[in-house]
Amino acid sequence: MTMFAERRIKIGKLKADQIKETGAQVVVTPCHNCIDQLMELNKHYKLGIEIKTVCEVVADGLAPIEFL
């Protein structure tokens, strides 16, 4: 909701600072709302992180299945 965008960015500063402190390159979350906020924080605070869902991380770890 764009009418809360400024507030969400301001409140998210604590989260952005915590992410910076960890030195994380990838942040994983199961929640779609969290993904939206993290994407905004990443852009606004220039975190330079990759944001993934838990499903993406699991899928990345699966070996490809070959069909004959």
Q: DSSP assignment, residue 61?
A: H
Q: Rounded to an integer, what distance in angstroms lies between the CA atom of residue 20 and that of residue 26? A: 11
**64, pLDDT greater than 80:** no
DSSP conformation letters of 1-60: -GGGHHHHHHHTHHHHHHHHHHT-SEEEES-HHHHHHHHHHHHHTT---EEEEHHHHHHH
Position 1 confidence tier, pLDDT thresholds 50, 70, 90: low
Average pLDDT over residues 7-34: 94
Q: Which residues contact 66 (CB under 8 A, 6 or more apart)?
A: none
Domain boundaries, the chain: 2-61
Of residues 54 and 61, more confidence is placed in 54
